[in-house]
Amino acid sequence: MIRLSVNINKVATLRNARGGNVPDVLKVAADAEKFGAEGITVHPRPDERHIRYEDVRGLKSIVTTEFNIEGYPNESFLKLVEEVIPHQVTLVPDPPDALTSNAGWDTKKHFEFLTEVIAQLKRLKIRTSIFMETDLKLIEVAKKIGTDRIELYTEPYAANYQEKEKVVKPFVNAANFAHEIGLGINAGHDLSLENLKFFAQQIPHLAEVSIGHALISDALYFGLENTIALYKRALKV
């Protein structure tokens, strides 16, 4: 069964646009779980333009499923993670001014840095995942770094979905290879109701998807409860 982790960053973006606490990020997280989400994902950035560090602290006592914190592992991020101790940390190579995640890690180039960060997270008994593209050599290095899982960066698949049979193949190969060398497989970025079902059907050993922008946008039309049900239905393979 593929788990659905709902990224609630866009809920915080909407709240921050007006000030105050509407919509309530903590309530949305609790409701998402009530409606069937198997996890909550947040991606705090240094400028706190959507999820704030205080939100992350508050979510620690709210989330009853799996709490996944993703982001670039700078000093403030790692300090927050150490304070909160989520179930999973997903390392993403975002510069501070990035609008959204737009690349996977070059695990060869950042080998020493990532090895040190992963070791630190393992000492805290936190499951780790590294945001990755489909390069098998870099995935092999990720295993040597010591991560538990990789998260496949799916924007190239989503952007070229009109050629789905062709563009999904590198992801199938990457998932098979990762599984063979003992890595768990997550996926995320631009997955939607349009492209999720085919991806879930094709990718072997997929444990979890993290979906935010499309899911929260769909909830404006269908409501959060119905939207989560639709995404979970798409994941049944």
Catalytic residues: 43, 70, 189
Distance CA 37, CA 67 (A): 11
Torsion angles phi and psi, residue 228, rounded to 5: -60, -40
Q: Are 32 and 218 in contact (CB under 8 A)?
A: no
**Which two tokens mark 22?**
């509407």
User: Closest Cα to residue 185, out of 146, 209, 153, 149?
Assistant: 149
**Which two tokens mark 19?**
């000030």
- Is the C-alpha dihedral spanning 90, 94, 98, 102 positive or negative? negative
Q: Are 12 and 48 in contact (CB under 8 A)?
A: no
Torsion angles phi and psi, residue 174, rounded to 5: -65, -40
